[in-house]
A and B are shown apart, each in its own frame.
Chain A
Amino acid sequence: MRQWRFEVFNRPGFSDVHGTSTFEDIQELGINTVEAVQSAKVFLIEGEFDEDFAGRVGRELLTDSVCEEYYIGRSKAPAGLAKATLIEVHLKSGVTDPVAQSVMAAVGDMGVSVDNVRTARKYILLGEITQSQTDTIAKKILSNDCIEDCIIGDEAEPPSPHLKPYELEIVKWPIRELDGDALIALSKEKDLFLNLVEMQTIQKYYQELGREPTDVELESLAQTWSEHCVHKTLKSSVDMELWHGLPAREDTAKMAVPQHIHFDNLLKETVFKATKQLDKKWCISVFADNAGVVEFDEESAVCFKVETHNRPSALDPYGGAATGIGGVIRDPMGTGMGAVPIANTDIFCFGPPDKKLEDIPKGVLHPRRIMKGVVAGVRDYGNRMGIPTVNGAIYFDERYLGNPLVYCGNIGLMDKDKCFKNPQTGNIIIVVGGKTGRDGIHGATFSSGEITHEYETIFSHAVQIGNPITEKKMLDVLVQANKAGLYEAITDCGAGGLSSAVGEMGSELGAEVDLEKVPLKYAGLNYSEIWISEAQERMVIAVKPENVKAIIKIFDDENVESTIIGKFTDDKKLILRYNGQQVCELDMDFLHNGVPKYSRKAVWESPQLAEPSIHEKDSYNDELLQILSSYNVASKEWVIRQYDHEVQGSSVVKPLTGVNNDGPSDAAVIRPKFDSDRGLAISCGMNPLYGDIDPYWMALAGIDEAIRNLICVGGRADRIALLDNFSWGNCAKPETFGPLVRAAQACYDGAMAFEAPFVSGKDSLNNEFACEDGRKISIPSTLLISAISIVDDVNKCVTMDAKKASNLLFIVGETKNELGGSHYYKVKGHIGASVPKVDLRTAPKIAGKICAAIAEGLIAGCHDCSEGGLAVALAEMAFAGGLGIEADLRGLPKSKDCSRIDTQLFSESNSRYVVEVELEKYDAFAKLMLNLPFGQIGKITREKTLVIKTEEGKTVIDMDIDSLKQAWQKPFDW
């Protein structure tokens, strides 16, 4: 068999964008001796064809004859350029190569079938570089060690991808005789992440059975009992020790004796409890399925899920983020009888992008590289799926350096009468979509431990490789199969792979699976790897025997792989076989309910913090510019534009708005059905800085912010559904878990006050990075609140940009002396103590009234006050609208202790809305706001300047809007 090698270069005169961007990345690394980078595509095609046909493949398929040229064989370094270094980047064997698959099919379309195709990238670096620089470039820029190999020089060929077939060998992991230490050692050695009590519980189970477990049995248990899958920490019983007053009380003095609070099940008694007590009719399925389901209209429902994909993204930012979004898209697809994805959200937390390279701990990628990779991953997967990415946020903090957070969310639309699954005994188990490989093994378990500097090497196998087109094809056929009513249940293969999908679907029934039937990407996988692989783009469905033929035809018609792998039984046992030999027999009840119950200790003691002393100034222009230019506040246009936020044709309020389409929208609104003006508003809220002072108020601020954002665009105040995503440090430490308990208490209080139930949630714990020197960096307590609401008529939506000169500006909501955790303090290097609180009596009233005013068409523009306070909100409204604002703090409703000008300008008090109203609508608006704290604070002008005057008439801010906008856009002008 001959292997043909094709190399495809850009013709001279046509810009090589990949080479150029690589060159820029090398310069960013601080290597200045590289003068230029040339990139080429490499195709290795194995097949029986002649020179003529090879020429056709090169010319007609692989090359764009206008701007590219190809070589057959290996090109040498360009003549005359003696100082060229050649580096080729190949995928490691077994890693999915979608381009290769497409090329194989395309050569087939040309009439010749080929045996194998591989692709690679080739880089020619021009300039004087040392061996160690070459290695650095290869490792840090050109390749990712988890999935790729670099070949330096022009001689070596990549290793053959052919793997040996697997021969069955049943492996037992004896545990019945082990003592405690040996049990722990086994758990560690096999990456099970099970603790002693869990290992002992399993030991007892096998002692009673009178046999030893097989490897796949222990793997299944480890995976099903992982933190990632069962949330054992959040469901544990908790003894909480509080050294300060109850959250709702104002006193912060330390008590002589701590107060104790006990929870039998933390989640059930906080987040779930609010949902249960509120008992909203429009909540269809909450905390039960892959996503929370709420009513959309008479016929339809929407479901929403947000997941984290932190650890994979730390190792492989591109692949980790791509599979993060790919995975969460499958949650709505696997909710009820399956939803159609209609929107993506993403929220990231990174280390500061300007961090010096030498300050990056070993084993960690530079935050800028992580950010670029993560954005590209979400972009490529989301865009290729044809799902608009409509809402998000990015936060920066030193403590995310070793542990970036990547939250991906997806919303799906489904028929209201198809919100529940009904798998039955006798149903056939079919796996649909991608093939199974060795990728992502131990993803569920490894996401439950801490990250160390060696983690890169140890857990490279946990990285999953995504192929969005496989998922899109699968979605296309599943929609048809769902419409035809051909299956009884569906779920996705997420964390834990088939083990989790089949295990959950069959938990009340029992299941038998023949593992050798599962289609594989390549030979050599053993039965255990097949069962727990987290290879992407796979779903499992339960089909009545009489529907099997019809459903498989739907899949075949569009070249989507589907395979019968087993059936659901009635003996409540999980039976796995390989070539007819039983390799696993577990009781479903033990698998799903056997996990021991935890009890945890938590302690909360307020940090000793004080307000900084800052002199008052005559002008705050500089502070405003600094805040606008701080990474958290600055424009994220560089990111947003890389996402397709308009595919599906549903967009109403886009993430960027205003006269030049570049102002920051508060929330997104989509109109998901072609024949209806009903819309869906989508937002988020998060502020880890407040958590450093008090996570209770951080959580409430997040809830208030997410809700404010929805209200600002026209979302209904009485149809808000919330999602929680806790990302925390090591919760085995009572002082880390205490803040989480406080945040959970706030979730209950906030949900009850706003009558906004939580419908789904997820947690990611143990987000700690262990440095080489043993130092541990824990992330700040980070609670993401995502929110959705209904918009009755999208034609009434409102955006945040200033609309018309002479319109009046109001602020609704009280400004208080609450600069703690503010961006004003942050740019001055302080944290402070007076964290913004939420007045749970007033906040929902304000939200309700603003919502009513928008519905009545009284509001021309509305923007929430959040990071940077009133001054930043006014600046954003002005430059988004291309108009000026003249504001006057005389009308500002404020608390008695809010006398300082900097506090009035930059306090981040919650529940505040800046509202633009036309003159003729003033009376109606004022009437509606009666009895609420509100005041006129100025008007829109033609002047293109932002002027803010104090009560005494002194001008404290006077800036032209172009300078403000420039300051806001500059940090991410990448």
Chain B
Amino acid sequence: MKQVRAIVLRAAGINCDMETEHALELAGAKAERVHINRIIEDKNMLDEYQIIVFPGGFSYGDDVAAGKILANQVVHHLREPLEKFIDDGKLVLGICNGFQVLVKTGILPGNGSANHQEEVTITDNDSGKFEDRWVYLAPQTEKCIFIEPGRQIYLPIAHAEGKVVTKDAATLENLKSAGQVAFKYVDKNGNEGDYPINPNGSMESIAGLTDTTGRVMGLMPHPERFVRPSQHPHWTRLRGTRDEGRGTRESDGMTIFNNAVKYIKENL
């Protein structure tokens, strides 16, 4: 694979597309922001790409529920090409609103196919309000190609509807045992806890999910917002330290984009 190509989906209300494109480019991909209308017009378009990212924002104003209207559009217009995309061994990443869309289409935690059987949803934060704050994330699975196993990362969240909820306890157990929990919210020392450690009240502190293939991931925090040291909220305290995110240790958010590009280079 010479050049990894990534699509960053655009639609009304999506607003993290520029920085997501930038993060993918930093990771070495050739990224393009493409409006959903263009993909609906030319469904074969996805064949040219190996990564699709559903970025953050407020697609269609989050009317009805976060991500719902865009999810409905994806289900009714792009279900087949997306299923094929995943079956071809390619990668899908949903960030914040994009995660909500993937869950509301059923692509997550699904088994790679879009359906309406909602087993999991993402709903209003327990705090009842939008919050922008930084959280620590502990990886929970080895099967998800986006994740660097064992590396706890620090990223910002910015959402009002980020609470991951499963239909019932059995669904939750299945997700855990199948290794589909991607990240959990933890404190600096890696322990789970109440608000604000778990900023939205997610069941079992779930911050992100992956599908059964490990090639589709969604997460509420924003990796594209921590791709260089000066985005860290107290970088002025870290000058010259290992945690600064310079040199060999990349900024935490880059791990996800780097892993995606590396996977495509090595496997497709």
Residues of chain A having any CB pair with chain B under 8 Å:
14-15, 17-18, 20-21, 41, 59-62, 64-67, 98-99, 101-103, 105-106, 109-111, 379, 383-386, 467-469, 472-473, 476, 557-559, 640-649, 651-654, 656-659, 661, 671, 674, 794-795, 797-799, 801, 803, 861, 881
Q: Which of A106, A384, A659, A881 contacts B58 (CB 8 A)?
A: A384
B136 CB → nearest A CB, Å: 12
A66 touches B165 (CB 8 A): yes
Rounded to whole angstroms, the CA-CA distance of A326 and B17 in the bound complex is: 21
Known: A67-B165, A803-B236. A109 touches B224 (CB 8 A): no
CB distance from B217 to the nearest CB of A (A): 20
Min CB gap A56→B, angstroms: 9
Residue B61 is within 8 A (CB to CB) of chain A in the complex: yes
B45 within 8 A of A: no
Q: Once the chains bind, are B236 and A559 in contact (CB under 8 Å)?
A: no
Contact partner, B237, options A110, A795, A801, Cβ 8 Å: A801
Evaluate contact between B225 and A646: CB separation under 8 angstroms: yes
**Is A17 a contact partner of B233 (Cβ separation < 8 A)?**
no
The complex places the Cα of A658 from the Cα of B232 at a distance, in Å, of 11
Instruction: Give the CA-CA distance A634 to B257 in the complex, in Å.
Output: 40
- The chain B residue with its CB closest to the CB of A674 is B22
User: If A64-B121, A67-B123, A644-B132 touch, does A657 touch B61 (CB 8 Å cutoff)?
Assistant: no
Number of B residues with CB within 8 Å of any CB on chain A = 59
Contact status B12-A641, CB under 8 Å? no
Bound CA–CA A558/B134 (angstroms): 34
> What A residues does B19 contact at CB under 8 A?
647-649, 674
* Cα–Cα, bound, A640→B133 (Å): 10
Contact A472 B15 (CB under 8 A): yes
On whether the beta carbons of A658 and B234 are closer than 8 Å, the reply is yes
In the complex, the answer to whether A659 meets B121 with C-beta atoms within 8 Å is no
Q: Which of B66-74, B140-148, B258-266 contacts A (4 or more CB under 8 A)?
A: B66-74
A469 touches B165 (CB 8 A): no
In residues 234-268 of chain B, which contact A (Cβ within 8 Å)?
234, 236-237
Q: Closest B-chain residue to A641, C-beta based? A: B131
Q: A15-B126, A106-B73, A647-B16 are in contact. Are A62 and B233 (CB under 8 A)?
A: no
Residue in B closest to A62 when the chains form the complex, CB atoms: B64
Given contacts A657-B234, A799-B236, contact A21 B61 (CB under 8 A): no
> Which residue in chain B gives the minimum CB-CB distance to A663?
B234
Which residues of A lie under 8 Å from residue B125 when comparing CB positions?
17
Contact check, B13 vs A384: say whether CB atoms are below 8 A apart.
Answer: yes
What's the count of A-B pairs with C-beta under 8 Å?
Answer: 178
Question: Can you name 6 A-B pairs with beta carbons within 8 Å?
Answer: A64-B68, A66-B123, A110-B76, A383-B130, A642-B131, A674-B19
Instruction: Give the A-binding residues of B (Cβ under 8 A).
Output: 10, 12-13, 15-16, 18-19, 22-23, 35, 37-38, 56-58, 60-61, 63-65, 68-69, 72-73, 76-77, 104, 116, 118-121, 123-126, 128-134, 156, 158, 165-167, 222, 224-225, 227, 229-231, 233-234, 236-237
Contact B68 A61 (CB under 8 A): yes
Contact A646 B156, beta carbon cutoff 8 Å: yes
CA gap between A472 and B119 in the complex, in Å: 32
Q: In the complex, what residue of chain B is closest to A882 when comparing beta carbons?
A: B237
Given the interface pairs A386-B57, A652-B230, A797-B236, the reply to whether A103 lies near B63 with Cβ below 8 Å is yes
B252 to chain A, nearest CB (A): 14
For A56, give the chain B residue with the smallest CB separation: B116
A661 touches B233 (CB 8 A): yes
With a cutoff of 8 Å between Cβ atoms, the chain B residues found around residue A106 in the complex are 64, 68-69, 72-73
Residues of A within 8 A of B156 (CB): 646
How near does chain A come to B47, taking the closest CB pair, in angstroms?
21
Shortest CB-to-CB span from A187 to chain B, Å, is 40
A66 and B118 contacting across the interface, CB-CB below 8 Å: yes
A558-B37 CB under 8 A given contacts A384-B58, A649-B231, A797-B236: yes
**If A66-B166, A469-B13 touch, does A648 touch B18 (CB 8 Å cutoff)?**
yes
Min CB distance A605 to B, Å, is 47
Nearest Cβ distance between residue B69 and chain A, in whole angstroms? Answer: 5
Distance of A651 Cα from B156 Cα, bound (Å): 12
What's the nearest-Cβ distance from chain A to residue B12, in Å? 5
Alpha-carbon distance A110/B38, docked complex (angstroms): 19
Question: Judging by beta carbons under 8 Å apart, are B58 and A103 in contact?
Answer: no
A66 touching B230 by the CB < 8 A rule?
Answer: no
Contacts of A645 in B (CB 8 A): 132
Shortest Cβ distance from residue A488 to the other chain B in the assembled complex, whole angstroms: 26
Q: Inside 8 A of B134's CB, which chain A residues have their CB?
A: 661
- Given contacts A64-B121, A649-B23, list 12 more A-B pairs with CB under 8 A: A15-B126, A66-B118, A66-B166, A111-B76, A472-B13, A644-B132, A647-B19, A647-B56, A649-B231, A651-B225, A674-B18, A861-B236
Distance A597 CA – B19 CA, assembled complex (angstroms)? 50
B64 touching A99 by the CB < 8 A rule?
yes
Question: In the bound complex, do residue B130 and residue A109 qualify as a contact, i.e. CB atoms below 8 Å apart?
Answer: no
CB distance from B90 to the nearest CB of A (A): 24
The answer to whether A386 and B118 have CB atoms under 8 Å apart is no
A384 touches B61 (CB 8 A): yes
Residue numbers in A under 8 Å from B56 (CB-CB)? 647
A59 partner residues in chain B, CB cutoff 8 A: 116
Contact call B130/A644, Cβ cutoff below 8 A: yes
A109-B73, A557-B35, A645-B132 known; A473 and B165 CB under 8 Å?
no
Closest 4 CB pairs of A and B: A386-B15, A649-B19, A102-B63, A66-B121
CB distance B118 to A98 under 8 Å?
no
Please name all residues of chain A whose beta carbon is closer than 8 Å to the beta carbon of B61 when the two chains form the complex. 98-99, 102, 384, 467-469
Inter-subunit contact B63/A98 (CB<8 Å): yes
Contact assessment for B128 and A20 in the assembled complex, using a CB-CB cutoff below 8 Å: yes
- Separation in Å of the B100 CB from the closest CB of chain A? 11
B38 to chain A, nearest CB (A): 8
- Known A66-B119, A469-B60; contact A557-B132, beta-carbon cutoff 8 A: no
A469 and B130: CB pair below 8 A? no
Task: Assess the A64–B10 pair: CB atoms within 8 A.
Answer: no
The docked-state distance in angstroms from the alpha carbon of A102 to that of B60 is 7
Residues of B within 8 A of A15 (CB): 124, 126
User: CB-nearest residue of chain A relative to B167?
Assistant: A66
Residue contact A14 to B12, C-beta cutoff 8 Å: no
B258 vs chain A, min Cβ distance (A): 16
Do residues B69 and A102 form an inter-chain contact, with CB atoms below 8 A? yes
**Shortest CB distance B188–A (Å):** 10
Report yes or no: B60 in contact with A64, Cβ–Cβ below 8 A. no
* Chain B residue with Cβ nearest A105: B69
A14-B236 CB under 8 A given contacts A384-B13, A385-B15, A644-B132:
no
Q: Are A558 and B35 in contact (CB under 8 A)?
A: yes
Residue pair A646, B132 in contact (C-beta under 8 Å): yes
Q: How many angstroms between the C-alpha atoms of A17 and B200 in the bound complex?
A: 12
- What residues on A are CB-neighbors of B236 within 8 Å? 653, 657, 797-799, 801, 803, 861
Q: Chain B residues near A798: list those with CB within 8 A.
A: 236
A641 touches B132 (CB 8 A): yes
- Min Cβ gap A712→B in Å is 12
Task: Give bound CA distance, A656 to B237, whole Å.
Answer: 14
Question: A797 to chain B: which residues have CB within 8 Å?
Answer: 230, 236
CB–CB A103/B64 < 8 A:
yes
CB distance from B234 to the nearest CB of A (A): 6
Residue in chain B with minimal CB distance to A16: B124
User: How far, in whole Å, are A648 and B64 apart by their CA atoms in the complex?
Assistant: 25
Q: Is the CB of B230 within 8 A of A795?
A: yes
A64 contacts which chain B residues (CB < 8 A)? 65, 68, 104, 118, 121, 123
Query: Quick check: B231 and A651 within 8 Å, CB to CB?
Result: yes
Least Cβ distance of B55 to chain A in Å?
Answer: 10
Distance between Cα atoms of A65 and B117 in the complex (Å): 8
**Chain B proximity of A395: nearest CB distance (Å):** 23
Closest chain-A Cβ to B199's Cβ sits at a distance in Å of 10
Which of B23, B68, B76, B133 is A661 in contact with, Cβ under 8 Å?
B133
Residues of B within 8 A of A20 (CB): 128
